[in-house]
Structures are given as structure tokens and as C-alpha cells.
Amino acid sequence: MCRAGLPSPTSPPSDLWSRVCSRNLAGTKGNRRLASSGYRLLPKVATGQPLRSAERLLLALRCFSVERPQLTLTEISQELNLAVSTVRRLLLTLERHGLLYYDANTSHYSVSMRTDWLPGAARAATLQRICGQHLDALHKETAESVILAVLDGGQGVHIDVRRSSHFISAFNPVGFRITPYAGGAIGKVLMAWLPEDHVRLLLPAVGEWKPKTSAAIHNTRELLHHLARVRERGYATNEGETDTEAWTVAAPVFDAQGYVAAALLVPIPQSRATRETRTRLINLIQKRARAMSLALQKWNKEWVSNGPTGSTFRGKAISRSPKSRNQAIRRPRAAGISDGRLITTAPAASRASTFTE
């Protein structure tokens, strides 16, 4: 034993010693002194209750809604049934991290525009969860790479990928970003069902088009013609417009409101792109895209019927009416549009493979 009756740093702590250190010495000078001496202090045993501070922060954010976009400190305090001083600390924390905006002239808080990444992250996670099994099935049927992409901030971004087992394959990793107007199949699908004024917002200025190949799209008029063909056929192809060594086909995945939620892509090298292979891939990708669309519609119906409507905190219910929840679901969610506006993001990631979409 060491002095003060403490066990040796080299001996494992007993269960009693672990509980004492975790419960009584956490965050104290004694805790830091023991840790620096080599003692291993175990974390406090979980009680099954949520972390109170984190829960309060989340519930403070949930006070805001479409019906009540701006709230005062007193209103939030009454909503949470917490002391004003406690709520003030919560709001200051959220404001410091850019999640809330405080208007000193009106003394009102509102959700900051910096939270605009949340819908995109939630949308990508939902698509991965719902469409994952269909990606696996298409990957097995084609033995080629399969990619799911969305429009984010004016760029196409890969959110889920299954890589081909072929020695030579067309492949880009999750997170890879593309320029949608360059002529790739993904970009054509993601833009084809957008209103024309939204499409024009994604395009470069006149004279700034940078075609990659001789078959690439060179101007707005040509692009709009291609998008009209995509809507007519229900799929898009890349016939060497961004890469002369690859052929790709993409099909739209629609959500429950009829907006394009994602683009499903199968890229292959030109060496394997025979007429029979192209026809087979077009049929398979359209079939799987329709299955994904039906899965999204089913999920949306179940979410509206059985999804969470609220929470309770200190005996007080915090809920949202089904009407407001449905309104939130039915906002325009065409790829790359959040609440009717385009979101700008960082420049495209560096090239990760030999082939592009």
C-alpha cells in the first residue's frame, strides 16, 4: 500500500476503489493528483438516465418551430419549466457555438443559419439506411461499382458506395464531390427535375464553361436539352463527356413528395461497355431506383404515422402537432435545396480515381 492508505499504482484497483474514485473524486484536485501518479480512475457507472446538460440543450432547440421561429428567454424558460438563469446559460452555449442567433434589439432568440448542415446530414443518413440493401442487391446483380449521390451546396456528393471486385473498375469514394453541369450522369439526374431557374443558379457564368472532353457540354442551351432528354427517358448516361475511358448510367430516386432525393449510378470502363451490357445496366438501375423510391415512400408514411411527436421533461410535454410536422416534411426538398434556397459549400474534393461520373 502507498501512503494515505492508497493501493499501489501497479496493482489493479478493486471494485470499491473504482467506485470511490469515480463517484467522489471526479473532477477534483485529488483526482488529478491520483491520475498524474499513475492511478486509473474508472468512469462513473451509467445509470440509464440521459446526460442532463445535453438533454436540456436539445430540448431548448426543440422549442423553436415554423409557428414559433423567434422566442424570448422567458418563453423558453416557461416552455422547459426551468429557471431563467439555467436557460440563459443554455442559450449562451448554443449562441457561442453558432446554433442560435440573439437579436439584442428585440431580445429574441432564433435558430442560426449555421444549422443548415443538419438537414443534409439527416437526409444522407436516412438514404444510407433505407437504400443500403438495394445498393447491395444492385452491386450483386451487376458486379460493378454502385454509387448513391445527392446534390449538396450546388455540387453532387457521393454518400454511399459499393466498389466493384473487377481488377479494372470505375470508382470514387464516399464524400467525393462533382460539378453537376459538367455532363456526368449524376449531375444530369440531380438537375433534370429542378425548376429551370434553380438549374441556372448552379451554372457558371458565360465564358467560364470548362469542358473536359470534346464530347462535353459546352453551354447552357446544350445542357437544358440534355436535361429534357433525361426527364423523357427516366435515366441519364455519360457518353465520354467527362471521361473518355468510362461509361456511366444514372437513374433518379424520388422521395414521397415527388422530388429527386438522390441519383443512383453504375460506372463501368469503356472496355466492358458493350451494347448488351449497357442495355442490361439501364434496365437494372431503373428497376432498383424505383424500388428505392417505393422504400422512401413507405418510410415516409410510417414516419408520419408513428414517428416521434415530442418528448417530456420534468413532467411537462414538449410536442409538435401532426399538422406542423407534416408541413415540415412537405417542404421542397429537391436535391440541393433547403427551405427553398441553395446552400454553398466548400470546393470539390480532390480527384480520387481514374474515372468520373
Mind listing the pLDDT tens digit for each residue in 14-66? 444 344 444 444 444 444 544 554 544 445 445 555 578 888 888 898 898 87
Question: Distance of CA 141 to CAs 84, 110, 282, 340, Å?
Answer: 60, 49, 12, 37
Nearest-angstrom CA–CA distance, 84 and 70: 17
Report residue 331's pLDDT band, with 50, 70 and 90 as the boundaries.
Answer: very low
Please say whether the beta carbons of 126 and 333 come within 8 A.
Answer: no
* pLDDT the model gives residue 50: 56
Angle at 305 between CA 301 and CA 307, to 5 degrees: 100
Closest by CA to 151, choosing from 99, 114, 192, 112, is 192
Percent of the chain whose pLDDT exceeds 90 = 27
Question: CB under 8 Å, gap of 24 or more: what pairs does 209-212 form?
Answer: 211/182, 211/183, 212/182, 212/183, 212/241, 212/242, 212/243, 212/356
Give the residue extent of every domain in the chain.
3-36, 52-111, 118-300
Q: Is residue 186 within 8 Å of 265, Cβ to Cβ?
A: yes
Give the pLDDT of residue 26.
44
Contact in structure between 207 and 260 (CB atoms under 8 Å): no
For residues 93-98, give the mean pLDDT. 87
Q: What is the mean pLDDT of the chain?
A: 74
How large is the average pLDDT for residues 175-196?
88
How far, in Å, CA of 266 to CA of 162, rounded?
10
Q: Which residue has the higher pLDDT, 171 or 236?
A: 236
Label the pairing between strands 341-342 and 337-338: antiparallel
Give yes or no for a contact between 314 and 53, defined as CB atoms under 8 angstroms apart.
Answer: no
Burial of 76 (C-beta count, 10 Å sphere; 0-12/13-18/19+): buried
Instruction: Rank 159-163, 246-250, 283-287, 339-343 by mean pLDDT and report only the highest.
Output: 283-287
Which CATH fold would you assign to the domain 52-111? Arc Repressor Mutant, subunit A (1.10.10)
* Superfamily of domain 118-300 in the CATH hierarchy: GAF domain (3.30.450.40)
Matching residue, cell 448513391: 148
Using CA atoms in the order 80, 81, 85, 91, what is the torsion angle rounded to 10 degrees? Answer: 0
Q: Is the pLDDT of residue 236 over 80?
A: yes
Q: What is the separation of C-alpha 158 from the centre of its chain, rounded to a whole number of angstroms?
A: 11
Q: What is the pLDDT of residue 357?
A: 59
pLDDT in the model for residue 116 = 63
pLDDT at 125: 84
Residue 163, pLDDT above cutoff 60: yes
| Among 100, 115, 105, residue whose Cα is nearest residue 63 | 100
Radius of gyration, CA atoms only, the chain: 27
Cβ contacts of 13 within 8 Å, gap of 6 or more:
7, 21, 39, 40, 42
The whole-number average pLDDT for the span 295-310 is 74
pTM above 0.75, yes or no: no
